Amino acid sequence: MGRGLQADVSAFLHAHNRAHTLAHVHQVAAEAVRLAQHFGADPVKAEQAGLLHDISAVIPNTRRLEEARRWGLAILPEEEAFPMLLHQQLSAVMAREIFGVHDEEVLAAVACHTTLRPAAGKLDLLIFVADKIAWDQAGSPPYLDDLAAALDHSLAQAARVYLEYLRENLSGLLHPWARAALIDLLD
């Protein structure tokens, strides 16, 4: 099953000229499988969510708001201001509608991979963390050492390291799910 989805995602992203995204999702999927094996989560679900998490990269930012409305997604003011934030939910819709993935755990992890969410499950935490380890920008992430050290303890602590980094670097513009997730993890 993993092979089939891998081939489908590769073909889809190739057809849309998203070689950069393709390399990134393969890295995230590999990292997610590694974390799943280490933390006792389902590696098949981890791989699926990793492969699909950024599939909506094919939708340009200028069209994300309109696509989210078309799919009837609930749109927060922060997402209206920064439609990039909608790509996590759009990826979940595309995973279901185009790639035929109906596993709720996989879809939920895809839908919150950028911001996390309060009461996050193991797969949510795992995909969130894998995406931050295999980040899609040049160089090494500034939070990587702290995050790796926190991973010695738990996925939740690693997620908290990244959310705190976000809070300190976004000058107050934290997505409400991220804010709620952080409060949750600080408990």
Q: Which residues bind Fe ion (CB under 5 A)?
A: 54, 131
Is residue 76 within 8 A of residue 88, CB to CB? The reply is: no
Report how far residue 171's alpha carbon sits from residue 173's, in angstroms, rounded to the nearest whole number.
6
Whole-number minimum distance, CB 53 to Fe ion, in Å? 5
Exposed/middle/buried for 161, CB within 10 Å: 0-12, 13-18, 19+? buried
Residue closer to Fe ion (CB basis): 94 or 152: 94
Report how far residue 41's alpha carbon sits from residue 74's, in angstroms, rounded to the nearest whole number.
29
Whole-number minimum distance, CB 139 to Fe ion, in Å? 16
Is residue 106 within 8 A of residue 76, CB to CB? The reply is: no
Residue closer to Fe ion (CB basis): 47 or 54: 54
Residue closer to Fe ion (CB basis): 29 or 151: 29
Residue closer to Fe ion (CB basis): 31 or 151: 31
Whole-number minimum distance, CB 45 to Fe ion, in Å? 17
Token pair recorded at residue 115: 């911001």
Residue 72: CA atoms inside 13 Å, Cβ hemisphere, count?
A: 0
